[in-house]
A = this chain, B = another copy of it.
């Protein structure tokens, strides 16, 4: 081992990876730990969940991304505890590793507002495994409806429910409506998949509210054009297998997807410092911990209100910018220079709604429909990691657009698991 300062990064998401890239081949020794061997391009997860892309197209081994970086080691491992005074991290296999600087970037999951038992009935979308599970439930619902119709001669109503009208909820609802109306319509013979209901429940009075009233209204109209039933001011206050309760009314459904609420990684609490009610660590303006300036928390785990009074949003560009700033601050400090404060630079935001449908906001301008969708397409391919993935995703999209087919329509899992899933989503019967 060299005598260079040791930097440990926990998490290979956008924050951790951007930190590692900034520290690449600098006079530090970097180790990046992640529980998974792959970095996931989260903005496209919903496309895996809706059978457009394969898991391998939006993920890349972290080790591969950093293969050419000489001063960085990637280790598959799960951090479980920290000693900020001794400057050590302990992994779940009991091994303890020392550091000079620590960057914790373990992300967030969805939160169920104290109802964690809802998760089995209403999975959320944060990991590749989540995406494959959602894909399985969605495709399975159509398969079971087909079997029922084949055996009974009658088509029963298929209902898909998405809870939460933020970007993920809108993307999922739009993509499922697209599938039902286009990709699957020709393949089922006993049922008409176009008769599927997709219901999007949003507690506030707008979907994609953060985009402002004009774009939010456009998003709602675009969703309705592709057949999504958008219900605003509708709180889901109970979830059973096969049904959700909205206000006083129970709504039956074949699949429920959860797309609201955020809970930061429990590693925030493991750091032994102050967290907000979503479990995010309250960080200093330079993203470090108050009494432990050599420990940084970045990305979705960090809670920071900027000097202009605005909180930093939990989006991937913010995580990337935090990773870069933190790495630069470490390098600056090693050269005896002062650290800089974090300021989020909003380059624009966008959300897709379905085939040829989207909204976007950038450089003070607003975009809707096809043009916003094209912008979304190119930007997402551009930011996708790995040249091969970019080619492959472009091909998959081109193919899906041209043929309206979905190429990744696999239901995996063994027969018993499948039967459990069947019994499960039929729980209401």
Bound-state CA distance A203–B301 (Å) is 55
Q: Are A55 and B410 interface neighbours, CB within 8 A?
A: yes
Name the residue on B nearest A54 (C-beta): B56
* Per-position 1/0 for A27-38, Cβ under 8 A of B: 000010001111
For window 130-177 of A, CB contacts with B under 8 Å fall at 132, 139-140, 143-144, 146-147, 150-151
Q: Which of A229-237, A271-279, A302-310, A387-395 contacts B (4 or more CB under 8 A)?
A: A387-395
The one of B37, B392, B412 that contacts A410, using a Cβ cutoff of 8 Å: B37
Bound-state CA distance A87–B412 (Å) is 31
Chain B residues closer than 8 Å to A56, beta-carbon distance: 54, 56, 407-408, 410
Q: Which one of A128, A144, A395, A410 has the greatest number of beta carbons of chain B within 10 Å?
A: A410
Contact of A419 with B by CB under 8 A: yes
Q: Are B38 and A411 interface neighbours, CB within 8 A?
A: yes
Bound-state CA distance A387–B331 (Å) is 51
Chain B residues closer than 8 Å to A85, beta-carbon distance: none
Chain B nearest CB from A178 CB (Å) reads 16
The one of B37, B73, B187, B413 that contacts A411, using a Cβ cutoff of 8 Å: B37
Chain B residues closer than 8 Å to A57, beta-carbon distance: 54
Q: Are A410 and B31 interface neighbours, CB within 8 A?
A: no
* Per-position 1/0 for A320-348, Cβ under 8 A of B: 00000000000000000000000000000
> Is chain A's interface secondary structure helix, strand, loop, or mixed overall?
mixed
Q: A35-B418, A143-B37, A151-B95 are in contact. Are A412 and B128 (CB under 8 A)?
A: yes
Chain B residues closer than 8 Å to A132, beta-carbon distance: 412
Q: A64-B187, A407-B388 are in contact. Are A75 and B150 (CB under 8 A)?
A: yes
Identify the A interface with B (CB < 8 A). 31, 35-38, 54-57, 59, 61, 63-64, 67-68, 73, 75-78, 92-93, 95, 97, 128-129, 132, 139-140, 143-144, 146-147, 150-151, 186-190, 388, 391-392, 395, 399, 403, 405, 407-415, 418-419, 422
Given contacts A92-B415, A97-B151, 5 further A-B contacts (CB under 8 A): A35-B418, A56-B56, A64-B409, A78-B419, A129-B412
